[in-house]
Amino acid sequence: MSEKVKLYDLSKCTGCRGCQLACKQWNQLPAKQTYNRGTYQNPPDLQPNTWMLIRFQEVSNGNGDVKWLFRKEACMHCTDAACVKVCPSGALHYTKYGTVALDEKKCIGCKECIFACPFNIPRYDPATDKVAKCDMCFSRIDNGLEPACVKACPTGALQFGDKDEMIKLAYQRVKELGGDASVYGDKYVKGTHMIYVLPEKAGLYEGLPEKPRVPLSVLAWKDLLKPLSLLATGGVLLGAFLHYILHGPKDTSGDQAGQGGGE
């Protein structure tokens, strides 16, 4: 099964939020009351009921005026996903398309993925004691459809397809744009399955890490501590098994007799 990638060209995004609404609708995520906070940013951040949003940002254009930067924020679907590494219940897992999905039924609400994610994506819902995040519309792509956000985008800012093709398109577009334009997402954390075409330098976009890294504690857990703990658990089980082979099952008849005698 070929790896699928969502390509997001920020230079074509008009901030219409069609994608944000489509995500809500397809995933049946309930709306909540919002407030005018003197900004177009709505809601202010990702939430358990908002798996993707458009970030609105005003920056100087160098001529004393301001211009808008729009950025669609959602799970990046890392190839080497820290959230999958730390998830102790197997709730977070890779799909056959290379994307990262979440089995809500298996989530135990430990929040390990929240601390591990280099992009600050999963959100915890105290009402359900579970985390939530985008699964790149697995139910749609597994039925040959594109993700709901891609389907809804009226400007062609979002595309979906095979990984190699999407990365090729991203580099073509960066060449067309020139200046500070760059491809973001194919280099860090062994690549992601959401690729950005950034018209401006990565450092300019709020909340977008310039060089995303998996926290060292996560690498230590996966590469050192987890095998050791498994070894320790395995040692205990092996010891118990050997004891059973060498000495047979524990004879508790004497214990029961002793308990009975005390009554």
Q: Is 69 in the site for ligand SF4 (CB under 6 A)?
A: no
Q: Are 168 and 27 in contact (CB under 8 A)?
A: no
Shortest CB 146 distance to ligand SF4, Å: 13
Shortest CB 186 distance to ligand SF4, Å: 14
Q: Which two tokens stand for residue 113?
A: 């993925």
Of 53, 75, 91, 181, the residue at the interface with ligand SF4 (CB under 6 A) is: 75
Q: Are 166 and 191 in contact (CB under 8 A)?
A: no
Q: Is 18 in the site for ligand SF4 (CB under 6 A)?
A: yes
Of 46, 83, 87, 141, the residue at the interface with ligand SF4 (CB under 6 A) is: 83
| Residue 203 to residues 11, 69, 102, 244, Cα–Cα distance (Å) | 16, 12, 29, 61
Q: Is 5 in the site for ligand SF4 (CB under 6 A)?
A: no
Shortest CB 16 distance to ligand SF4, Å: 4
Q: Residue holding tokens 């008849």?
A: 253
Q: Is 147 in the site for ligand SF4 (CB under 6 A)?
A: no
Q: Is 155 in the site for ligand SF4 (CB under 6 A)?
A: yes
Q: Which two tokens stand for residue 97?
A: 């398309």
Of 55, 72, 123, 163, the residue at the interface with ligand SF4 (CB under 6 A) is: 72
Q: Is 100 in the site for ligand SF4 (CB under 6 A)?
A: yes
- Single out the segment in contact with ligand SF4 by CB under 6 A; choices: 42-50, 115-123, 215-223, 252-260: 115-123
Residue 239 class from Cβ within 10 Å (0-12 exposed, 13-18 middle, 19+ buried)?
exposed
Q: Is 7 in the site for ligand SF4 (CB under 6 A)?
A: no
Closest CA to 136 of 88, 83, 185, 95: 95
Q: Is 185 in the site for ligand SF4 (CB under 6 A)?
A: no
Q: Is 17 in the site for ligand SF4 (CB under 6 A)?
A: yes
SS in 3 state form for 205-263?
CCCCCCCCCCCHHHHHHHHHHHHHHHHHHHHHHHHHHHHHHHHCCCCCHHHHHHHHHHC
Footprint of ligand SF4 (CB under 6 A)? 13-19, 54, 72, 75-78, 81-83, 100, 117, 119, 121-122, 133, 152-153, 155, 157-158
